[in-house]
Amino acid sequence: MGAYSRTVVLEELPSGSRARIVEIMGRGGWIYRLYQMGLTPGVIVDVVMNIGRGPIIIRVMGVEIAIGRGIARRIIVEPINT
């Protein structure tokens, strides 16, 4: 883990980076779907692909998931240096 922790939103993470989920903000049905897919605080996500537009591809618990940018903006993460 990095020497200091700072938080960013998932949307800002580049391809190939890794981070720990800190918080998921907002409400609505989609948030329950995220929980069910294993995206809860403390869980580690790998960014498979983020090209600055279109859905972000992440890997959580070995499963690849595409997530829209609006949702990715509401997932607060703490980058992990690898």
Partner 1 sequence: MSQSTHKKEYEIAIIGQPNVGKSTLFNILTGRKARVANWPGVTVEVHEGETDFDGSRIKLIDLPGIYGFSTISLEERIARNYILSGRPDAVIVLVDSLNPERTMYLAIQTLEMTEKVVIGFTKSDAAHAHGVHINYDLISKRLGVPVVPVSAATLRGIRSLLRTTIDVARGRAGRKKPLRIDYGELEPYVSSVESLLKQYEERMEYPIRWMALRLLEGDNDLYKYVRGVCGDDIAEEIVKIREEIKRIFRRDPAELLAKKRFEYLQRVLGDAIVRLEIKKGGFERFTRLFYRPFIGPVLSLIILLGMFMIAFTINTGFPLNILLDSLGMHDAASAVEEYSIGGLMEKLFSWISSWITNSFGESWLTDLVANGIISGVGSVLIFLPLIMIVSLFLAILEDSGIAPRMAVSLHGPLSKIGVSGHAIFPMTMSLGCNVPAILATRAIPSRSERLRLLMTLPFIPCQARLVVILAFASSLVSGYGALLVVLGYSAAFLAFAVVNKILYIYEKKKTGKKEPEIILELPPIHRPLGKVLWWHVWDNSKHFLKKAGTIIFSLSILIWFLVNVSPSLAITDNPSDSIAAVFSHYLSPIVYPIGIEPGKAWIIAFALLIGFIAKEAVIETLTILTSTASPQQALMLLGLTASQLSALTVFVVLYVPCIATIAVIYSESRSVRHTLATIALMLGVAYVAMLITYGLSLII
Q: Is 54 in the site for partner 1 (CB under 8 A)?
A: yes
The continuous run of DSSP H or E covering 56 comes out as: strand 56-60
**H-state helical runs in the chain:** 29-36, 69-72
Place of tokens 């859905």: 55
Q: Is 55 in the site for partner 1 (CB under 8 A)?
A: yes
Q: Which of 13, 19, 65, 77 binds partner 1 (CB under 8 A)?
A: 65
Q: In angstroms, what is the minimal distance from the CB of 82 to partner 1?
A: 15
Q: Which of 4, 6, 53, 81 binds partner 1 (CB under 8 A)?
A: 53
Q: Is 76 in the site for partner 1 (CB under 8 A)?
A: no
Give the residue from 78, 79, 67 showing the smallest Cα distance to 31. 67
Nearer to partner 1, 5 or 15 (CB): 15
CA-to-CA separations, 50 to 3, 26, 60, in angstroms, rounded: 25, 22, 15
Residue ranges in contact with partner 1 by CB under 8 A: 24, 27, 29-38, 40-43, 49, 51, 53-55, 57, 60-71
